[in-house]
Structure 1
């Protein structure tokens, strides 16, 4: 998951954010919910955003990009999905409550605690992605 929520906390808002809000107020409709002009315009804007984000993050297709109401809803969706499929989630001791609470609840529904081997692989991957090389200590 890649978290893009700059507009929620940045102040003053950038001109691009103000312009997007103005466009939505003038032209916006509910995307995917109707066939009228404003709804189709909104649907096209959402699709264009998915296409751009898919290119930005290297997603295989725009269909792989989803939007959530907020970060907490997105985190809950992902954590609950991993619990449903019996997945593994690695977190640090510094996570926000919006991460730790659903993870603790999801453990009761099948979310797995990571195995020692998983932690070693994850540690190597993080070090390689941050440093850009494979340090000897991570091998």
Structure 2
């Protein structure tokens, strides 16, 4: 899990906050790849909104990320590092249920668009339970 914001994460938060606004033209960071990342992020945010998930985004220029923004960064980070388990876990946490294929694909596209723009983050540190000993069933299977 991302605890301290890395150098590119603050710029990505700014881009995400701008992408959520109707007026993304006022963003000072305007390159083609950044615009693509903003549009992908807007698609992802709109999909979450249409699915009933209202995101709590911080104000433009605010230095601290909100819990929802940290969850978004964890989803993007896991997708960028091709960590399927962490990606699904972070997306479940963000969506509040099992994410459908459209949300998964849109989240991956947003993550890769940010990666193309040069904004990548460290792999998320998601604590995982140890595997049960050989032959022993899991206490509670995940379905």
Instruction: Tell me whether the two structures share a fold, i.e. TM-score over 0.5.
Output: no
TM-score normalised to the size of structure 2?
A: 0.23
Higher relative contact order (CA 8 A, sep 6+): 2
TM-score normalised to the size of structure 1?
A: 0.24
For the pair shown, the structure with the greater C-alpha radius of gyration is: 1
Higher normalized helix content (fraction of residues): 1
